[in-house]
C-alpha cells in the first residue's frame, strides 16, 4: 500500500513585535502566522491585531509548532527555553542571550527535548555573502589571509535612552548589537577564534556602554579579522572585505539606508599591478535574507537535520565567549 508522505505545516507564533518581529511576520515564506504577542499592544499594526494572543496561549496552543522570539536581549533565552519545553521549534533573534552560558542553556534544552533551535543571523543570507562563499570555495582568491569589516549607523535623537544602552537589558552596547554580526560573518569564513584584542569606547552617546568597538580576532591558522562596529557612523555603512593570496572580495551595502548591495572581485594578475575586476550588483527592492533564513530553518526541520542545528549552536556559543571575554575585561 502506498502512503503519501505527510508534509509538515509550519504554524508560527511571534513573541516580540518591534521592527524585527514585523520583518519576520512579513517574511514567513510557507509558514502560517497564527499568533502574535507584544507587551505593548500598540506596537501591533491594525492588520495584525487579529493575531494578538496572551503569551501563555502561544505556548499552550497545540497548533503552533514554531515560535519566533524577537524581544529585548534579556528575555531571549528564558522565552526560548519555555517554548522548547512547550514542544515548539524556535527561531530566536541574535544574539540569543546576553552571554555564552545562556546560549549553552538553549543548546542543552534543544538537545534534551529534541527541538530545533536557530539563532537568527540573517546577514549570512544576503546574496553578497552567499556569492562570496561560492568564490572562496572555488579557491579563486586562494587561502584567506585576513578579513576587514566595518558596520555602523548614526543612531537617532534620544538613542542613548533606548533599551540598547541599558546593559541589564541589552548585555552591552555596539559589540553585542552590530558587532555580533561581524563576528558571526568572520567565523563563517575563518572558523573559531582563540586570540582576542579589543578596545571599547563611548565617544558620543552619554551611556555606560560602548558606542564603538574595535576588534582583532585571530584563529589557530594565524588568519585575522579586523572589525569595527559603531553607532557614530553618521552615514549608515556596511563593508566586509576578504583578502586572499590571489585577490580580494569586497562587499558593501545591505540595501536601503546602507546603500545598494554589491560585491567586487579583485583578481591578481600574474605580473601583479592593477588587478582584474568583476562586480555583481544586487538591486533587490526587498531584503530577502529574512525569508531565506527561515526557509533554511524549515528545511532543516523537514529533513530532520538535527546535527546541523546543534553544530550551529556550538558555533554560537564560541562566538558569544568572545563577548564574555571582552566584557569581563572592559569597563568604560
pLDDT of 292-311, one tens digit each?
A: 999 999 999 999 999 999 99
What is the structure's pLDDT at 7?
A: 67
pLDDT interval class at 6 (50, 70, 90): low
Q: Are residues 134 and 21 in the same domain?
A: no
Element (H, E) at 213: strand 212-218
Same domain, 56 and 139: no
Same domain, 132 and 200: yes
Residue 200 has pLDDT above 90, yes or no: yes
Q: Is the pLDDT of residue 222 over 50?
A: yes
| Portion of the chain with pLDDT greater than 90, in percent | 95
Query: Is 161 found in the same domain as 61?
Result: no
Residues 225 and 190 in one domain: yes
Is 321 inside any structural domain? no
| Residue 315 belongs to a domain | no
Cell of 32: 502560517
Mean pLDDT to the nearest integer, 244-256 = 97
CATH number for 137: 3.30.360.10
* Residue 1 forms part of a structural domain: no
The answer, yes or no, to whether residue 2 has pLDDT greater than 50, is: no
Query: Are both 48 and 148 inside the same structural domain?
Result: no
Q: What is the rounded average pLDDT of the residues 198-207?
A: 96
Say whether pLDDT at 201 is over 60.
Answer: yes
Residues ≥6 apart with Cβ < 8 Å to 190: 144, 147, 219, 221, 223, 225
| Domain of 89, in residue numbers | 11-122+290-304
Question: Do 153 and 21 share a structural domain?
Answer: no
- Whether residue 6 lies inside any domain: the answer is no
Are 294 and 195 members of one domain? no
Q: Does the pLDDT at position 161 exceed 60? A: yes
pLDDT for the residue numbered 312: 97
Q: Is the pLDDT of residue 3 over 60?
A: no
Q: What is the CATH number of the domain that holds 102?
A: 3.40.50.720
Q: Quick one: pLDDT band at residue 285, thresholds 50, 70, 90?
A: confident
Report whether 224 contacts 123 (CB < 8 A).
Answer: no
In a domain, 17, yes or no: yes
Q: Which three cell numbers stand for residue 224?
A: 585575522
Query: Distance between CA 134 and CA 186 in Å, rounded?
Result: 15
In a domain? residue 313: no
| pLDDT higher than threshold 90 for residue 8 | no
- For residues 153 and 89, give the distance between their C-alpha atoms in angstroms, rounded to a whole number: 33
Assigned domain for 57 exists? yes
Mean pLDDT, the chain, whole residue set:
96
Whether 153 and 52 map to the same domain: the answer is: no
Asked if 151 and 270 sit in the same domain, the reply is yes
Question: b/e for 89-116, b at 16 or more Cβ within 10 A?
Answer: bbbbbbbbbbbbebbbbbbebbeeeebb
Query: Which of helix, strand or coil describes residue 199?
Result: strand
Which of 243, 282, 283 has the alpha carbon at shortest distance from 266? Answer: 243
Residue 322 lies inside a defined structural domain of this protein: no
Q: What is the pLDDT of residues 29-54, one digit of tens each?
A: 999 999 999 999 988 999 999 999 99
- Give the chain's radius of gyration (CA, Å): 20
The mean per-residue pLDDT over the stretch 204-231 comes to: 97
Contact 323, 175 (CB under 8 A): yes
What's the total number of domains in the chain?
2
Residues 125-156: pLDDT tens digits?
A: 999 999 999 999 999 999 999 999 999 999 99
Same domain, 141 and 275: yes
Q: Residue 141 CB: number of other CB atoms within 10 A?
A: 22
Please check whether residues 143 and 234 belong to one and the same domain: yes
Contact indicator for 323, 103 with CB cutoff of 8 Å: no
Confidence band (pLDDT; 50, 70, 90) for 284? confident
The C-alpha angle with vertex 121 and arms to 328 and 108, in degrees rounded to 5, equals 65
Amino acid at each position: 500500500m502506498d502512503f503519501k508522505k505527510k508534509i509538515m505545516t509550519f504554524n508560527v507564533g511571534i513573541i516580540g513585535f518591534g521592527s524585527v518581529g514585523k520583518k519576520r511576520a512579513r517574511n514567513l515564506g510557507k509558514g502560517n502566522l497564527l499568533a502574535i504577542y507584544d507587551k505593548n499592544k500598540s506596537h501591533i499594526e491594525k492588520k495584525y491585531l487579529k493575531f494578538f494572543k496572551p503569551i501563555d496561549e502561544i505556548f499552550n496552543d497545540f497548533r503552533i509548532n514554531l515560535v519566533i522570539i524577537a524581544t529585548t536581549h534579556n528575555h531571549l533565552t528564558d522565552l526560548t527555553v519555555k517554548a522548547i519545553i512547550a514542544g515548539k521549534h524556535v527561531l530566536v533573534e541574535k544574539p540569543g542571550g546576553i552571554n555564552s552560558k545562556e546560549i549553552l542553556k538553549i543548546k542543552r534544552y534543544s538537545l534534551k527535548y529534541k527541538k530545533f533551535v536557530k539563532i537568527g543571523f540573517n546577514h549570512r543570507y544576503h546574496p553578497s555573502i552567499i556569492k562570496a562563499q561560492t568564490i572562496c570555495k572555488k579557491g579563486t582568491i586562494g587561502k584567506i589571509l585576513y578579513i576587514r569589516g566595518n558596520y555602523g549607523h548614526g543612531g537617532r535623537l534620544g538613542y542613548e535612552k533606548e533599551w540598547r544602552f541599558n546593559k541589564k537589558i541589552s548585555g552591552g552596547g555596539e559589540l553585542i548589537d552590530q558587532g555580533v554580526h561581524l563576528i558571526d560573518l568572520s567565523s563563517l569564513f575563518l572558523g573559531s577564534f582563540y586570540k582576542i584584542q579589543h578596545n571599547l569606547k563611548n565617544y558620543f552617546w552619554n551611556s555606560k556602554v560602548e558606542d564603538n568597538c574595535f576588534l582583532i580576532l585571530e584563529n589557530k591558522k594565524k588568519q585575522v579579522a579586523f572589525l569595527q562596529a559603531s553607532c557614530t557612523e553618521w552615514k549608515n555603512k556596511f563593508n566586509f572585505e576578504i583578502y586572499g593570496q590571489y585577490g580580494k572580495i569586497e562587499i558593501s551595502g545591505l540595501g536601503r539606508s546602507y546603500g545598494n548591495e554589491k560585491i567586487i572581485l579583485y583578481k591578481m594578475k600574474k605580473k601583479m599591478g592593477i588587478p582584474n575586476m568583476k562586480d555583481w550588483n544586487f538591486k533587490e527592492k526587498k531584503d530577502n535574507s529574512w525569508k531565506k533564513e527561515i526557509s533554511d530553518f524549515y528545511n532543516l526541520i523537514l529533513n530532520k537535520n538535527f546535527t546541523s542545528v546543534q553544530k550551529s549552536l556550538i558555533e554560537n556559543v564560541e562566538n558569544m565567549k568572545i563577548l564574555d571575554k571582552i566584557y569581563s575585561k572592559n569597563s568604560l
